């Protein structure tokens, strides 16, 4: 019996041993988990603490006097300066097409020929009637002269002279009417020659030779678009209109530059020619038109372009736009003292011209502001200025070549430490 009881006791002993081992594993794991991070983190924290007093590598730019261009940007549509749909002014058979589709034509060039024979007949008939009435007029005028001479001799009555004078006036009216009929017939005959009313480029023809065309047709023979010069129509918000209108009323010619759809490649330069006389109440915008010579025909009707309207140029303090930060105090920059200490400086910004921003208040010419490395700065921090042109940094009053610090590399121990800090 004692031997039989020893087996369950042995099982209970093993069971407790397993529980003890599991408890030891849990306690040991917790001890390792709490002790190991302290060991691994202690070294980086110690290094970071050692680096806390080291200067932060940054790039700077000087605050300097410059000129800010006030440029308004908009999206515009290229439109032909003039567009004409060439239509026939008389009815008849189209016997000849004298142009090639897409051809450039000059004003007065022959475009098409309509059968002129019926109009030539009408002109000849009008000329014949004119000659007949002119002959009658000359005969009546000679008779009037005779009657007037006889009246002076008291040979005929006064009434006969007056009647002959009235006949002369009647025939004069008939001759004038005949002249008008001749002019009209000659005009209709001239309309059989369809000529270009303006200079420009032709489109695709709508009628082929051999067809009967009518003056009442609205389709037309072809469309001429004047592309030299050419115009661009664009819109601006009504809030920007007063500044533009003030320049126009002052007699200034505002320049306009066109860029491609990516707003990178410059296409043409021109000038503003007109402002619409009313604001669109639906959009709150006003339309403007600019003119371009388009000598190389780089602009095509209905092409979408980016419009840069140069309104004004003013003197101002300028800094790179990348130096400006935004916070609870508004716009501010990190200004650097002579001992390379950083201070947060609130500023009031003005107009923006590309990568430069005008400063209204808060800075003075000759100061230096941080353009790169601002994410590691704080008030009163020391900085290590990294620049390819050390002379420009040493003499901040001199125009610096590294204006925006853009595209430069910050090599050196400071950059390596910053990289190590980011890695940690």
- HEC per residue, 234-285: EEEEHHHHHHHHHHHHCCCCCEEEEECCCCCCEEEEEEEEEECCCCECCCCE
**DSSP state, 321?**
G
Both tokens of residue 405? 């610090």
Q: Where are the beta strands (DSSP E) in 155-213?
A: 193-195, 200-202, 212-213
pLDDT in tens, 306-328: 999 999 888 888 999 999 999 88
pLDDT bin (cut points 50, 70, 90) of residue 9 is low
Both tokens of residue 231? 């115009």
Give the residue, 406 or 100, on which the prediction is more confident: 100
Query: In this structure, what are the phi and psi dihedrals at residue 100, rounded to the nearest 5 degrees?
Result: -110, 140
pTM: 0.61
pLDDT bin (cut points 50, 70, 90) of residue 35 is low
What is the model's pLDDT at position 10? 67
Bridge partners for 194 per DSSP? 112
Bridge partners for 247 per DSSP? none
The candidate with the shortest Cα–Cα distance to 59, out of 375, 386, 380, 322, is: 386
3-class DSSP state for residue 221?
coil
What is the model's pLDDT at position 121? 95
Q: Measure CA 242 to chain center.
A: 19
For residue 324, CA distances in Å to 27, 59, 61, 142 come to 54, 14, 12, 100
3-class DSSP state for residue 383?
strand
Bridge partners for 270 per DSSP? 256
Strand 56-62 relative to strand 383-385: parallel, antiparallel, unpaired? parallel
What is the model's pLDDT at position 27? 74
pLDDT bin (cut points 50, 70, 90) of residue 130 is very high
Q: In sequence order, which residues have a C-beta less than 8 Å from that of residue 280 and are 6 or more positions away?
A: 235, 286, 287
What is the model's pLDDT at position 395? 41
Instruction: Say if residues 89 and 215 touch (Cβ distance below 8 Å).
Output: yes
Question: What separation, in Å, do the N-terminal and C-terminal C-alpha atoms of the chain show?
Answer: 68
Both tokens of residue 355? 């990568």
pLDDT bin (cut points 50, 70, 90) of residue 222 is very high
Per-residue pLDDT at 195 exceeds 90:
yes
Give the residue, 29 or 371, on which the prediction is more confident: 371
Instruction: Say if residues 392 and 398 touch (Cβ distance below 8 Å).
Output: yes
Per-residue pLDDT at 399 exceeds 80:
no
Per-residue pLDDT at 234 exceeds 90:
yes
Strand 285-292 relative to strand 304-320: parallel, antiparallel, unpaired? unpaired
Q: What is the 3-state secondary structure (H, E, C) of 61-76?
A: EECEEEEEEEEEEEEE
Both tokens of residue 248? 């126009």
Give the whole-number percent of the chain exceeding pLDDT 70.
Answer: 83
Q: In sequence order, which residues have a C-beta less than 8 Å from that of residue 377 and are 6 or more positions away?
A: 56, 58, 334, 342, 370, 383
pLDDT bin (cut points 50, 70, 90) of residue 387 is low
């Amino acid at each position: 019996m004692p031997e039989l009881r020893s087996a369950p006791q042995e099982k209970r002993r093993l069971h407790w041993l397993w529980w003890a081992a599991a408890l030891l594993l849990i306690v040991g794991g917790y001890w390792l988990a709490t002790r190991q991070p302290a060991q691994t983190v202690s070294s980086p924290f110690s290094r970071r603490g050692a680096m806390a007093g080291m200067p932060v590598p940054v790039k700077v730019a000087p605050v300097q006097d410059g000129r800010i261009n006030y440029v308004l940007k908009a999206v515009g549509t290229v439109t032909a300066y003039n567009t004409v749909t060439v239509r026939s002014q008389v009815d008849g058979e189209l016997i000849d097409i004298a142009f090639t589709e897409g051809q450039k034509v000059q004003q007065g060039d022959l475009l098409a020929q309509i059968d002129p024979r019926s109009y030539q007949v009408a002109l000849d008939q009008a000329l014949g009637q004119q000659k007949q009435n002119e002959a009658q007029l000359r005969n009546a005028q000679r008779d009037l002269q005779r009657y007037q001479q006889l009246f002076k001799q008291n040979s005929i009555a006064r009434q006969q002279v007056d009647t002959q004078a009235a006949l002369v006036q009647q025939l004069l009216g008939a001759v004038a009417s005949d002249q008008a009929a001749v002019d009209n017939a000659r005009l209709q005959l001239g309309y059989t020659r369809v000529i270009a009313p303006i200079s420009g480029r032709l489109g695709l023809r709508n009628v082929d030779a051999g067809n009967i065309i009518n003056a009442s047709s609205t389709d037309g023979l072809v469309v001429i678009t004047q592309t030299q010069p050419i115009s661009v129509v664009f819109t601006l918000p009504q809030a920007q209109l007063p500044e533009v209108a003030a320049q126009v009323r002052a007699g200034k010619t505002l320049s306009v530059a066109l860029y491609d759809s990516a707003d990178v490649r410059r296409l043409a330069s021109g000038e503003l020619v007109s402002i619409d006389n009313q604001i669109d109440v639906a959009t709150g915008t006003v339309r403007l038109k600019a003119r371009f010579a388009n000598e190389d025909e780089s602009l095509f009707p209905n092409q979408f372009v980016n419009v840069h309207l140069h309104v004004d140029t003013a003197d101002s303090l300028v800094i790179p736009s990348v130096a400006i930060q935004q916070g609870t105090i508004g716009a501010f920059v990190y200004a650097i003292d002579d001992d390379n200490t950083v201070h947060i400086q609130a500023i009031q910004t003005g107009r923006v011209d590309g990568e430069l921003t005008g400063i209204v208040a808060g800075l003075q010419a000759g100061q230096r502001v941080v353009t790169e490395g601002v994410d590691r700065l704080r008030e009163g921090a020391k900085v290590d200025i990294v620049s390819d042109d050390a002379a420009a940094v040493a003499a901040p009053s001199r125009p610096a070549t590294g204006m925006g610090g853009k595209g430069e590399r910050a090599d050196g121990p400071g950059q390596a430490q910053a990289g190590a800090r980011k890695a940690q």
